[in-house]
Amino acid sequence: MDFKGKIILAPMAGVTDAPFRKIARRYGADYCVSEMISSVAVHFKDRKTALLAKTEKSDTPIGIQIFGHDPEIMGECAYLVSRNEYEHCISDTPPDIIDINMGRSP
Ligand SMILES: Cc1cc2nc3c(=O)[nH]c(=O)nc-3n(C[C@H](O)[C@H](O)[C@H](O)COP(=O)(O)O)c2cc1C
């Protein structure tokens, strides 16, 4: 992806949900990033997290930010989310980018 000259909405936990992204795009954002998605929650097939990770064609290009510190769980999470195979997550398109946040899970 070419980000040169593009307006990017940074990932913000508790802020950059789908409605916020829609507004940001209306006001010119070219690329948006989701709220942060816990890799551990994806590992345990958490349904609420599935809603946060949902991606739709009308909300692209989009990055899904995943966080965690366990390489295996992060890898599994990136695999599932990037291939749109996260159970309970009903997306009509996979994300364009997986944004890695190496923050430690609580
Ligand atoms: C309310 C809030 C929540 C944030 N949540 C995240 C987050 O979940 N993941 C992340 O990587 N950065 C997060 N950030 C950092 C922002 O993505 C961004 O890097 C930071 O605000 C600096 O951006 P700026 O240089 O455009 O001001 C958050 C920032 C704010 C203000």
With a 6 A CB cut-off, is 100 part of the ligand 1 pocket? no
Pairing outcome for strands 31-38 and 62-67: parallel
Q: Is a pLDDT exceeding 60 seen at residue 105? A: no
Residue-wise pLDDT for 83-95, tens only, equals 999 888 888 999 9
- Tokens 């890799």 belong to 39
**pTM value?**
0.93
d(CA 4, CA 21): 20
Q: Whose CA is nearest to atom 11 of ligand 1?
A: 11
Domain 8-101 is in which class?
alpha beta
- Tokens 């990932």 belong to 11
Please report, for the chain, the start and end positions of each structural domain, with discontinuous segments joined by +. 8-101
